[in-house]
Amino acid sequence: MNEDYLWDKSGEPDPQIEELEQILAPLRYQPKPLELPVVRRRNYFSLAAIAATLLVALLAGGIWIKSRKQQTPPQQEIVKFVPSEAEEKEPSPPAVVVTNTDLPRKSIHKRNKRIFTKHEREEALAAKEQVLLALRVASEKLKLAQRRTQTPPPNQIKNQHKVG
């Protein structure tokens, strides 16, 4: 057998090798160009989802704006609270009632500020002091509970090792 024939087909072929070549000839490598299938189908799902989201947002915004325009503020009366003569020693001017819907909403709310009497102010300050006292008591109780949970009991031996 000539081994050069196996590598570069030079020299005399062996009859058994020629027979094997003929049997295996249909399985021989045949170069073909690579053909990739062309898919022209596009995925429109993401574009449809974005469009639907924008449509819902626009509809919600339109409904919100429409509902805000339909809600016209009712005519509001601006009343200046004047304490009674029993609460205040000096004479005061009479209460003034003004009806004006031409003013912007913000200015109406600013002018509609309630003026407290002396008695109401004292009550409010007393209530504030009670709330602050309750907060201090609760804070101290929480601190005490925290200290008790974080520090070991006084009878515990530190660096205790198990025996046995």
Per-residue confidence (pLDDT) for residue 139, from 0 to 100? 93
What share of the chain has pLDDT > 90, as a percent? 26
pTM score > 0.85 for this model?
A: no
**What is d(CA 96, CA 79) in angstroms, rounded to the nearest whole number?**
6
